[in-house]
Amino acid sequence: MYLWSLLKSRTIVQTKYAISLLKIPTFLYLLKCIIGIIICYVFYKEIPQYPFYWAMVSVVITISPESNNKLAYDRIIANTLGCAAALCLYPIHASSLVILCAGVVVTIVAGTLLKITGVLRSALAALVIVIVNEEHHRDWLVALERVGCVITGCIVALGITLFFNVVLRAYNKHLYRYRNHIEELDGAE
């Protein structure tokens, strides 16, 4: 009995510690990612002929912990850049490794010129998603489907980011008014 109560108390302490680590921004980031995954999963299940699992990858890469619209736009630009680089290199008849390496060079150089170096990982992920092909033959349709799915994930992530930012802005405005009202009441006493 003593051992059980000791284990139980340790579990409660560990649970409280884990919850205390989950601050509001972390919770919101987690919520945004889960919502994004759920939306893209619906596409994946409802339209099985297209590779919407890439949309799930894209949505979690595109959503950021910060509630920053500029960062969301930059990540979408980066994903689009990676897709565009992949499509430009796709017709080259060389090994996948050579095309991937060339794509990395093109993506990093273009991202540097566009001044989006902070989000180049998203661009490189999109490049790899579009270029790598499981089949032994190269098919434009597969590449275009993947581009569409990556962009779908970006659009879902942008929608979620904008929605959360609008809701948080409204909440903060309401909270600010409430605090001012309380301060006015305290000052009137």
pLDDT at residue 6, as a whole number: 45
**Rounded mean pLDDT of the chain?**
82
pLDDT on residue 20: 57
Answer yes or no: is 90 within a domain. Answer: yes
Q: 171 pLDDT band (50/70/90 cuts)?
A: confident
Confidence of residue 140 (pLDDT cuts 50, 70, 90): confident
Q: Is residue 117 part of a domain?
A: yes
Helices 120-131, 140-188: crossing angle, 10 deg rounding: 150
In a domain, 33, yes or no: yes
Q: Is residue 10 part of a domain?
A: no
Amino acid at site 36? G
User: What band does 94 get if pLDDT is binned at 50, 70 and 90?
Assistant: confident
63-86 average pLDDT score: 87
- Is residue 162 domain-resident? yes
Please indicate, yes or no, if residue 72 is contained in any of the structural domains: yes
Q: At what angle do helices 53-62 and 24-46 cross, to 10 degrees?
A: 160
Q: Cβ of 128: how many Cβ atoms within 10 Å?
A: 17
> Between these two residues, 71 and 180, which has the higher pLDDT value?
71
35: pLDDT confidence band, cut at 50, 70 and 90?
very high
Average pLDDT over residues 4-9: 50
User: Given this model, what pLDDT does residue 7 score?
Assistant: 47
Average pLDDT rounded to a whole number, residues 119-139 = 80
Q: How deeply is 103 buried, as exposed, middle or buried, from its count of CB atoms within 10 A (0-12, 13-18, 19+)?
A: buried
Ranking 30-39, 129-138, 149-158 by mean pLDDT, the lowest is 129-138
Q: Is the pLDDT of residue 16 over 60?
A: no
Count of domains forming the chain: 1
Determine the Cα–Cα distance for residues 34 and 152; give it in Å rounded to an integer: 16
pLDDT, average across residues 38-49 = 94
Look at residues 137, 35, 140 and name the one whose alpha carbon lies nearest to residue 90.
140
Quote the domain boundaries for residue 39: 26-188
Residue 102 has pLDDT above 50, yes or no: yes
In a domain, 141, yes or no: yes
78: which residues sit within 8 A by CB, 6+ positions away? 111, 116, 119, 120, 121, 122, 123, 126
Is the residue at 4 inside a domain?
Answer: no
